[in-house]
Amino acid sequence: MRVVIPFKKENAKTRLSEILSEKQRQDFALEMLLDVISELEASEKFNEIEILNSSIFSIMNTEFPGNVNVLLSEKDLNGALNEYLEKLASHNMDEVLIIMADMPLVTKKHLLELTSLTADLVIAPGSRGGTNALLIRKPDKFHVDYYGTSFLDHLKIAEEAGLSVDIYDSFMMSTDIDEPKDLVELLIHGKGRAAQYLRSIGITLDTNTARLVFNNYK
């Protein structure tokens, strides 16, 4: 199966700017991406892993845990992904998973479960109405519409196209990391590089209050 991961390192995770420097946000975004790719590889479900990026410079020196293609697009998220889907459709290719790079709690187990669902469209909802993963089995009949409550938008697009839908309900996959409070979830449940990165720069968890602690903060 093919998987595409939109990724942006420049100006990444601006809502974390009150607690992380620009360099730290970039490093952290990359660690989350690497966590996601590790699990995609571990699942042994994906023979084509593609990163959709606006700049080659941001990841050109990165060592990825597996074979990865980097696709460049200057379009916005919806524009770039819909162009990608059109290209798949025009080459008669089916089945692609779109997965976000900022969901470091995803594991191989989730990916195996999600891809075993059989509907035309499988959606893993994110918090705040987001869409954290979309398995699209008929790229010729679907287009994405991220931003806002994209979960509801994607349900509607599928309905209008007569596509069947399965919802993959996972707390871990719903946890996208946008705001400082999301780091709490990562420190509680995370076992990968992104959680380790936070600890390495001195961000830990107060388990009495479930709040972040900034310890020897670098």
DSSP, collapsed to helix, strand or coil, labels residue 79 as helix
Query: 124 pairs with which residues across the strands?
Result: 133
Q: Do residues 157 and 120 touch, judged by C-beta distance below 8 A? A: no
Q: Which of 66, 79, 129, 202 binds a copy of itself (CB under 8 A)?
A: 129
Tokens representing 167 are: 């919802």
Q: Are 55 and 124 in contact, with CB atoms under 8 Å apart? A: no
Restricting to residues 63-122, name those near a copy of itself by CB under 8 A.
110
Half-sphere exposure of 39 toward its Cβ, with a 13 Å CA cutoff? 26
Whole-number Å distance between alpha carbons of 213 and 99: 30
Between 125 and 192, whose beta carbon lies closer to a copy of itself?
125
In degrees and rounded to multiples of 5, residue 129 shows phi and psi of 80, 10
Residue from 127, 141, 146, 180 touching a copy of itself (CB under 8 A): that is: 127
Sheet containing strand 165-167, edge to edge, reads: 69-72, 48-53, 2-7, 96-99, 131-136, 121-125, 165-167
Residue 145 within binding range of a copy of itself, rule CB under 8 A: no
| Of positions 189, 191, 199, 218, contacts a copy of itself by CB under 8 A | 189
Q: Quick one: 103 or 163, whose CB is closer to a copy of itself?
A: 103
Q: Does 213 help bind a copy of itself (rule: CB under 8 A)?
A: no
Contact characters 147-166, a copy of itself, x per CB under 8 A:
-xx-xxx-------------
Q: According to the binding rule CB under 8 A, does residue 24 interact with a copy of itself?
A: no
CA distance 66 to 142: 29
- Residues 193-212, interacting with a copy of itself (CB under 8 A): 205, 207-210
134 DSSP β-pair partners:
98, 123
Cα–Cα distance, 147 to 195 (Å, whole number): 26
- Interaction of residue 178 with a copy of itself, rule CB under 8 A: no
Nearer to a copy of itself (CB atom), residue 49 or residue 205: 205
| Rg of the Cα atoms in the chain | 17
The single residue among 15, 128, 199, 218 that binds a copy of itself, judged by CB under 8 A, is 128
**134 lies in the binding site for a copy of itself (CB under 8 A):** no
Residues that bind a copy of itself (rule: CB under 8 A) add up to a total of 26
Closest to a copy of itself by CB, 65 vs 180, is: 180
Binding site for a copy of itself (CB under 8 A): 110, 125, 127-129, 148-149, 151-153, 169-174, 181, 184-185, 188-189, 205, 207-210
